[in-house]
Structures are given as structure tokens and as C-alpha cells.
A and B are shown apart, each in its own frame.
Chain A
Amino acid sequence: METILTIFIIFIAGATGTYFLGKLSGILRSVIFITTLLVTSWLFFTAVSPDVIIEFEIMGILMSWGLTPLAYVFAIIVFGLAIIIGIYAIKAMEGQRSLNFFFANFLLSVMAMFGILISNDLISFFIFWEIMSWSSYFMVVLNHKDVQRSGITYIIFCVIGAYAMMMAIMIIYSYSGSVMIGDFISNFHAFSLGMKWLLPILLLIGFASKAALMPLHVWAPGAYSNSPMSYTALFSGALSKMGVYGMVIVMIMIVQQIPDGYWIKEVIAWLGGITSAIGTLWAIKQDDAKRMLAYSSVAQLGYIIVGVAIGTPLAMMSGLFLAVMHGIFKSTLFMVVGAIERQTGTSNFTEVTGLIRKMPWTFLAALMSIIALAGIPPLGGFIGKWMLYESLMGSNHYLLIIVIFFSSTAAFLYCYKFLFGFFLGQEEKEWSHVKEAPAMMVVPMIIMAILTFVLGVFPGLILKPINDGMQFLGYVSTDNRFWEMSTIFNDWGNQVVMEPIVYTIFAIFLFFLIFLTLKGYKNTRYVTTKDISSSGEIPREDENLTFITGFMQPFFRAVAPVMKRQIDKYYTSFGKGLEALFDFTRRIYTGNGQTYALYFVIFVILLLMFRDSLF
């Protein structure tokens, strides 16, 4: 049997088994769950090759499944993250509600992502896209928190995107008679000019809604912060990348072909830049780690989209590389928050402090990921950002560089906040009982943290598949200047200065880390967070005086005009207005039978009067 089909069957069987057998015993559930993930991943990495294509027909439409090199890059993210997060989730979800459903749905999500990646035609792409939408939706509302608001917002944006996409797909099908992505790309020049603009825009709306690009990003904070953290890690790490995957295809293969399509690229790039700036600003303002990371995800996806939209070889490479890196470090951070929440019961910075000694391994994972996120060498984030800057320079987007630079600098603020808020600072009696998270949670985090480091030092590991993917997209693979950075797996270029720099920085960093830790052990005077007796003010009882409270007030005063125009508010008032309008229009059903009879007569008369134009 075809491997792809086998993988699907295993996924479905696994999901069913997890759900039904999970009712019998928790261990059985975990075993089936992990086995499914492992077996599918193993099958995928060993037996699926790009040249196997399955074709079949549904309702007269030819569909086809097969792996492309580009999809392979994303599949690495999906399967890698799924296994690690899956192991983490088993322990992390312990004692939560609806476990059977959670794990079955988790498998469905992974299956849907895999399906998206192996779809060569738009219909099956869309089907898996929608399965991904609803399965992730059920995760968003699984915690019974803020269901009607964040859940509904999420599903609205899901379907806005999906329906835009579906409209495009159906137009493509009816105009060209084929739904193959390849056919669409090669026949694109045959579409009329109007369609040439309409189709990519509709498709981009579809993908952008998942990738949380600016006007369509409002679902992200609520959705990310309300789903179980074990899922958010996958959600932000892998699921949102599906939007990026679609955007890569559209931006490179389609938009290229539009006359004056340059403008779409510019607009998307700018939207990406603005998204990252706004996301960063909002991230700084949050007091809840989950929401902060959610906004941070929005911002990071902004970078990725900038890279993809600019579309020069270097920019594309940076976008894809950042996508992988973001998948790794953001999942780690979400897992960290999940661990902290599990151990302390809250994820609010202002409440939890000084966990560094209670949860050292978690801290290590958090630290590494934060460093990667902030883009400090030698971890992976740096390389991606560096490439992004360079490509922006190369393509003369100087203004955009300012925006990106602003947001990545501002990102330090929330990175710091995250580290300090949770781990550093004084210990409180309240948290003295907190223990390190169980090993089954810590180990995946640490593995991920190590991965950020490994990929930072040996980016070639991941740049090789990315390069293949880019060749598939039509790039010529030798921008030598760029390959020089990866030296260990030196398939492409020359030995380079980068290596000593990396090791030096790493040594300094390690030294600094040890120094900090030692210093922390020795010279701390323990007072409670509420104690500010030295400053002369008498605080009120209810005032929370942790460092994190009111973090960066002056900064926010400065950017207040920007932040005041919060886009969710417009959406909310638009939605409210619509609902009020419909509440009004449905009064047309007055409940009086006589009025209905009157409608009857009016309808007849209208038909009689407009018979010439209606018939």
C-alpha cells in the first residue's frame, strides 16, 4: 500500500483508538498516542519520497497527493514538534478535562497538517485545511475559558480565510478545469487580468488568516492563550506555519506572474512589518505570559512573512529558516509556560516570581529559547534575523528595516520581562513549595532548547532541506555569500570567519550565565515583593509592587496613540453593529399572521409589476 495512505490510516486508527480505548485506561491512551506519532513520523521520514504520487478522483475532480521538497521543510517542523510536544503533553495534560478528546484531536490536527503538506491539489488541500481549522477550534475552546468570545472570533477568522480560499479554488476549477496546484501555476497566465488580481488576493486572505497577518490577526491572542498550553505549542509552532506554507507558494509562484504584482509583495511585506511591530508592542503590555507569547507569536510571524514577501533568495531563506526556528523556540516557551502554570497554578508574571531555583531546568529551556527569540547569537534566531536584515538591505527596503529593527529591539523588553517575571526576582513564600516539573515535561523542553542551539551553530542541518525546497520554488541555489555561514556541514561553501565568532560568543555567554547564577546564590537579600520600605512611599495593601507591574510605563505613554487604535475594537463594534442590524431586520417576522398575509399580497404585486425584468 502507498505509504501516504498508510500514514493516514494510522492517524485515523490512532485517533479513534485514543478516543475510545482511552476511556479504559490512561496509560493505554498515552501508549497509543505516542506510538501513532512515532510510527507515522518514522514512516514519513523513511518511506515517503517526493516522487511517489497518488492520484484519485472524487466527484469527477482529479486529485493527487505527493510530497514536494518545500512541503518537506514544513513536514519536518510538524512531525518534529508533534513528537516532542506529544511526549510533553502526556504529563502536562494529566488531570485536565476531556483527555481522550484532547489526544484524539491532537492526532487529527497533526494528520490535517500532514494532509495539507502532501496535497498537490487545491481541493484536498482545502479539505485538510478545514479539518485543521475545526480540530484546532475544539482545542481553543477545550478549556471552557472565554469560549463565546475567543472561540467564536477564531472560527470566524478561520472561515473567512477558508471561504476566501474556497472561492478562489472554485473559480480556478471552473476556469481551468483542474485543481492541481501545478496546473494552476502553469496556466495562470491564461486568466484574465481581473482574475489575476482576484485569485492571489483571495488565496492570500485565506493563508494570512492562519498566519495571523495584520488585519486578520485578532483571533490569535485569545486562541493561543485559551487552548491548553500543550496544544498552543503545536498551534503556534506548526499550525500557523501552514499559512506561511501557502503564502510561500502564492507569493513566489503566482504573484510573480501578475503584471505589476510587485505591489502585492510590497503590501504584504509592509503588513508583515506592521504586524510584527504591533504584536511586539502588545506583547510588552501583557501581564499574562500566555497572552504575551501569543502576541509575540503574531510578531514573529510578521518577520517570517516579511521574508517570504520580499522574495529574494536570501529573504526567502530567512523566512523559512525563521519559520523553523520560531516553531522550535516558541513551542518551547509555550511548554515552559505550561509547566509553570501546572506547577504554580497561574501564568501571570506579576504573581509568580523567583522560580529560578525551584525550576532550574525549566529556566534553562526558557533562557535558551528567549535568547533565540531575541535574536542574540549564537542561537538560531540570530541567523534568521541577520539574513532578513541583509536581504532587506539588498532589496532597498530601508523603511521596512527600521520597522523590523524597532520591533526586534522592543522584543528584548518582553523577553526580559518573561525571564525576570517568572524566574528572577525575589522568592515569595507563596511559591516556596513549587517543585520542578516532572521529567517527562522537562526533557522535551530541554531537547528543544538544545535544538535551538544546535541549529544556531549548525544551521546547515536545516538549510539543506530549505535549499531543496527553494530549488523547487525555482530559485537558483547558489548565493554563495550566504552559505558561508554554515560550516560544519560544509556542503556548499568555504570555511569562514563565522565559526570562531560563534564559539567566542558562546563562551562569553556561558561564563556570564555561570557568573549570574553564582551571584544570585550569594548576594541576595530576601524581602517580600511587597516590601518597598526603602523608597519612602507607603503602598496600599492591594497594590502589586512587583517589578513587572507597570512595566515600561513611559514607553507606553510614548506609543499610546498607536496602541489606542486597537484593531479588535473595530471588529468588535462592527460585529456588534451587524448583530444589532440583524436584530432589527428580523423584526420583519412580526409574529402577526395578518402581516404575513400582507407580505403575501405585496409579494404578488411586486412580482406582477416587475415581471418583465424578473422573468
Chain B
Amino acid sequence: MKKAIVIFLLAVFGFFLAVTFLDPDFEAERNHNGVKNFYLDKTVSQLKTANTVTAIVVNFRGFDTLGEVTVLFLAATALGSILFKKRHHIGDRTVLMPASSIVSAGSKLIFPAIILLGAYVFIHGHLTPGGGFQGGTIIATGFLLMLIAYRDFSISHNVLSVIESFAGIGFVTFGLLGFMNGGTFLQNFMGTGVLNDLISGGVIPVIYILVGFKVAAELTGLIYTILHEKG
């Protein structure tokens, strides 16, 4: 009965959504240009950043990214707070089964490669697809792999916390430096170099690398926390 009602309601809702989005008018009346072309132009001409998405994420809408990093930071902190127990058993990961030796050995082999890949992705964030978030996440998956493969693999929470804090402070500080040098928060105050060079885009790669560190540390910490959780 409940399901029938829900399905009916969803059908009505879906109808409205479909009427909205599938209507040809929705395409016809769209403003296709808006801010898009401006961003594409300025990315090449002023920021000298190949990857427009990176330019938007770090520069044009860098404030969003600051918020986003904060959300991750909050999520990691919240996880610790929510799962907080008086007595904390470190290194007691009974959640997952012990890994077979193939997995362990393979993990050890693949771990440096993953870290390298992650670093590559966020260092080249302004040139190729990817960037701080993606690279950071990839590094975090590397640590995840090690955590699963080796039951006694442990990372110091303090180290993670320090990395995380320094990266975050770096982000805000660069924003504030822009504030002092260029007049606005997150202003690109460094020389932008030549398009498609590794050292180009001014402050963008620096910030994205900081974001990468921060995301990597946060996600690793987050997984570490939840992995140590016993039911």
C-alpha cells in the first residue's frame, strides 16, 4: 500500500521533472553563452591554464573550493567526533578479513605507483584532466589499499593532522596573500608563465597541490577512522 502511494507520488514528481527538462523549450530558450565563453577566453589569455575546469575550480570559483575543502575537513572531524569512543583500540582492525599473501604482496608493489599517479595527477592539474581532488583521492586509495592489505599498517593521526592543517593554512594564506598583493582574496598574484608549461598558471597549481595534500590527508584520516571502528 505504502509502496503504491510512493510510486504514485514519484510518478507525479517525475512527470513534473520530465515536463521541465525534456521540454524542447528548455533547450530552445537557454542562454548558451553566459559566463562560459568568458571563462574559456580568460583561462587561455590571462591565467595561462590549459585546463579550464581547474582554472574555474581554483581561481574563478576558488571560494567554492575553499568551502569544499572545509566540508571535507568537517566531514573528517565529524567522523572522528561521531565514532568517538572512550577507549580507542589502535591497530585492531577486525572489520576486514586478513588479506591473502597475494593481495599483500601486490599491494606493496602497486602502492608506490598509486602514490606516484596521484602526485602526477595533482601536479599536472592545470594542464591535464585531474587536479588536487582527484590526485588526493587517488593517494588516499593507495593508503586504503595498504590499510586493507596489512592489518598492522598504521599512520600517525598527528602527522595526518599536521599535513592537513598546513595544507589548509597554506590555501587560506595564499588567498590572503592575493588579498594583500592583488587586492582581492585568492587573486592570482604570481606570474602566469606560458600556456601548457608545467610552471604556468601562477598560483593555480600551487593551490591545487595544497588541495591535493589536504584532500589526501583528510580522506586517509577519514578511512583510517572508520576502518578502526568496531561494531
Point out residues on A near B: beta carbons under 8 Å. Answer: 598, 601-602, 604-605, 608-609
Contact = CB atoms under 8 A, between A and B. Distances in A.
A605 B6 contact: no
A604 B13 contact: yes
B198 interface: no
A601 B16 CA distance: 12
Contacts of A602: 9
A486 to B, nearest CB: 81
Contacts of A604: 13
A598 B13 CA distance: 12
Contacts of B6: 598, 601
Given A601-B13, A602-B9, 6 more contacts: A598-B6, A598-B9, A604-B13, A605-B9, A605-B16, A608-B13
B10 interface: yes
Nearest to B10: A601
16 contacts: A598-B6, A598-B9, A601-B6, A601-B9, A601-B10, A601-B13, A602-B9, A604-B13, A605-B9, A605-B12, A605-B13, A605-B16, A608-B12, A608-B13, A608-B16, A609-B12
Contacts of B13: 601, 604-605, 608
A609 B6 CA distance: 17
Range for the number of chain B residues in contact with chain A? under 10
B22 to A, nearest CB: 16
Contacts of A609: 12
Nearest to B6: A598
Contacts of B10: 601
A607 to B, nearest CB: 10
Nearest to A608: B16
A194 to B, nearest CB: 42
Name the residue in A598, A605, A609 with the highest tally of chain B Cβ atoms < 10 Å from its Cβ.
A605
A526 B10 CA distance: 90
Interface string B1-31: 0000010011011001000000000000000
A609 B9 CA distance: 12
Contacts of B9: 598, 601-602, 605
A608 B10 CA distance: 13
B23 to A, nearest CB: 14
Interface in B64-81: none
Nearest to A604: B13
A608 B18 CA distance: 13
Nearest to A602: B9
Nearest to B17: A608
Contacts of A608: 12-13, 16
A328 B9 CA distance: 71
A421 B123 CA distance: 101
A609 B10 CA distance: 13
Contacts of A598: 6, 9
A604 B13 CA distance: 8
B7 to A, nearest CB: 11
Contacts of A601: 6, 9-10, 13
Contacts of A605: 9, 12-13, 16
Nearest to B8: A605
The 8 closest A-B CB pairs, nearest first, are A608-B16, A605-B12, A601-B9, A605-B13, A605-B9, A601-B13, A604-B13, A602-B9
Contacts of B12: 605, 608-609
A597 to B, nearest CB: 10
Interface string B52-73: 0000000000000000000000
A601 B6 CA distance: 9
B95 to A, nearest CB: 26
A549 to B, nearest CB: 64
B131 to A, nearest CB: 35
B13 to A, nearest CB: 6
A602 B6 CA distance: 9
Nearest to A611: B16
A602 B10 CA distance: 9
Interface string B103-125: 00000000000000000000000
A401 B6 CA distance: 69
A19 B157 CA distance: 57
A224 B173 CA distance: 69
A315 B12 CA distance: 70
